[in-house]
Amino acid sequence: MLHSIRNTFSLGFKSLWNRRGTAALTLASIAVSAALLSVVDRVRTDAQVSFANTISGTDLIIGARSGDLNLLLYSVFRIGNPTNNISWNSFETIAERREVDWLIPISLGDAHKGFRVLGTNLDYFEHYQYADGRTLDLSDGSTFTRATDAVIGAEVAERLGYEIGQPIVISHGLTATSFVTHDDNPFTVVGVLARTGTPVDRTVHISLAGMDLIHAGPGEFSLPSSLDSYEPDAITAVFVGLKSRVAVFSVQRFLNEYEREPLSAVIPGVALQQLWGLIGVAEYALLGVSAMVVLAGVLGLLATLLVSLNERRREMSVLRSVGARPGHVFSLLLSEAALLAFLGALAGLLAVQLAVILVRPYALAEFGIQLSVGLRVFDFAVLAGILLIAVLVSIIPAWRAYRNSLADGLTVKI
């Protein structure tokens, strides 16, 4: 039995090799379809993981009244712009609540050479968590002690080639080439954060005092003696950690009903769910299209096999004459389809691996998506699925060859 299967596959392989031109094209179309399916699913799941890993341990995000998603996107992912600021008074009110464990004020709106600038205080380095509770680590230098100190993310350091002591100029506004730059207020890089795989890597962190310094006119701002006691007029958003998660909903309700200014408080997980809901439709559409491409690939395989049947009638009756049974002819056709599908899908999946290794750094730098290398369960499902569909579909040409071999006898008129 095993011997006969090996026989059939070695014959099938030689037969395909003999027609390697068309076989290679069929194989390529299957490879492309497998690769597409694998890539779509990989990017989809890796993007979800990367997004979900961006913030951890924060129970609430508070900002000016806006949509939950908008608040999440600009405060955590640095995507889009804040609608409005919230006053320092509100920050202090929140800080006074007994459910609150810690608060991180953040202030956004400026950029340095295309990287977002985030004003905050030292609590950020102590309490901000990502990827299941990991806190930020410095790979070099220290956190800021002066208003003009800056701590940069790993990606900023790498791309701009900055080291400790590098003087930098922060422009007002978000574009890389802003008209208003403040050459008279240079900042100094004092620390570089270890890589996190989150938007933190692409952020320049400065103190809240430094943030106000940028926006003040010449001579309007005097540097504070201590950063700890510095109080800005307004900030963009607040990350809140509670002593007990049980209090989340009551604190959220309090903030949403806060009367002195309109606030929004969102639970990061809930906002992320909204995000999935929004992009889920597109993801499934992409997966659906990819599945259709797989179907097209397999139909191409079917067409190739069917077209080859007529010119192979002679070969089939030769095989019959040397003792091959109709079942052998049937399984020869199946083995060819299986080989094409298996090798094609495998080639596609391996090509994806290679591509992922190549574009990984770029995906991380540009989109903050940490692509994973290595075959996954889904890839094996793709492989098995394509193999199964190909074998099922090739029953049609195999059955035809079987019928032909019975009808033709030992002679085919050509």
Partner 1 sequence: MSEPGAEYAHAVSVEGLRFGYTAGEEILSIDALVIEPTQRVFLYGPSGCGKSTLLSMIGGVLVPQDGRVSVLGQDLSAMKGSGRDRVRADHLGIIFQQFNLVPYLSVVDNVCLPCRYSRRRLQRAESDDGTVEASAARLLSELGIDDRLRARRSTELSVGQQQRVAAARALIGRPELIIADEPTSSLDADRRRDFVSLLLTECDSANSTVIFVSHDQSLASHFDEAIDLRAINRAERDSDAA
Q: Is 224 in the site for partner 1 (CB under 8 A)?
A: no
Of the residues 318, 373, 388, 392, which one makes contact with partner 1 according to CB under 8 A: 318
Q: Is 214 in the site for partner 1 (CB under 8 A)?
A: no
Total residues interacting with partner 1, rule: CB under 8 A: 24
Q: Is 7 in the site for partner 1 (CB under 8 A)?
A: yes
CB of 3 to partner 1, least distance (A): 9
Of the residues 14, 183, 233, 259, which one makes contact with partner 1 according to CB under 8 A: 14
Of the residues 84, 145, 310, 321, which one makes contact with partner 1 according to CB under 8 A: 321
Cα separation, 381 vs 174, whole angstroms? 44
Of the residues 243, 245, 325, 403, which one makes contact with partner 1 according to CB under 8 A: 325
CB of 343 to partner 1, least distance (A): 17
**x/- letters, 15..44, toward partner 1 (CB under 8 A):** x-xxx-------------------------
CB of 18 to partner 1, least distance (A): 3
Q: Is 414 in the site for partner 1 (CB under 8 A)?
A: yes
**x/- letters, 382..411, toward partner 1 (CB under 8 A):** ------------------------x--xxx
Scan for tokens 């004020």, then name that residue: 105
Q: Is 324 in the site for partner 1 (CB under 8 A)?
A: yes
Which range, of 12-20, 64-72, 167-175, 365-373, touches partner 1 by CB under 8 A?
Answer: 12-20
Q: Please enumerate in sequence order all residues whose Cβ is within 8 A of that of 223, keeping only pairs 6 or more positions apart, or say none.
A: 146, 147, 148, 209, 213
- Considering only CA atoms, give the Rg of the chain: 31
Q: Is 226 in the site for partner 1 (CB under 8 A)?
A: no
Q: Is 2 in the site for partner 1 (CB under 8 A)?
A: no
Compute the CA torsion angle 89, 71, 363, 168 (nearest 10 deg): -30
CB of 2 to partner 1, least distance (A): 14
Which range, of 28-36, 150-158, 298-306, 323-331, touches partner 1 by CB under 8 A?
Answer: 323-331
Q: Is 328 in the site for partner 1 (CB under 8 A)?
A: yes
CB of 404 to partner 1, least distance (A): 12
Q: Is 315 in the site for partner 1 (CB under 8 A)?
A: yes
Of the residues 157, 206, 275, 319, which one makes contact with partner 1 according to CB under 8 A: 319
Nearest to 408 by CA among 55, 400, 343: 400
Shorter beta-carbon distance to partner 1: residue 66 or 405 = 405
Shorter beta-carbon distance to partner 1: residue 172 or 313 = 313
Neighbours of 181 (CB within 10 A): 15
25-48 core/surface letters (b: 16 or more CB in 10 A; e: else): ebbebbbbbbbbbbbbbbbbebbb
Of the residues 119, 236, 320, 398, which one makes contact with partner 1 according to CB under 8 A: 320
CB of 4 to partner 1, least distance (A): 8
Of the residues 2, 180, 322, 377, which one makes contact with partner 1 according to CB under 8 A: 322
Judge contact between 242 and 248, C-beta under 8 A.
Answer: yes
**x/- letters, 348..387, toward partner 1 (CB under 8 A):** ----------------------------------------
Which range, of 7-15, 82-90, 171-179, 191-199, touches partner 1 by CB under 8 A?
Answer: 7-15
Positions touching partner 1 (CB under 8 A) are 7, 11, 14-15, 17-19, 314-315, 318-326, 328, 406, 409-411, 414
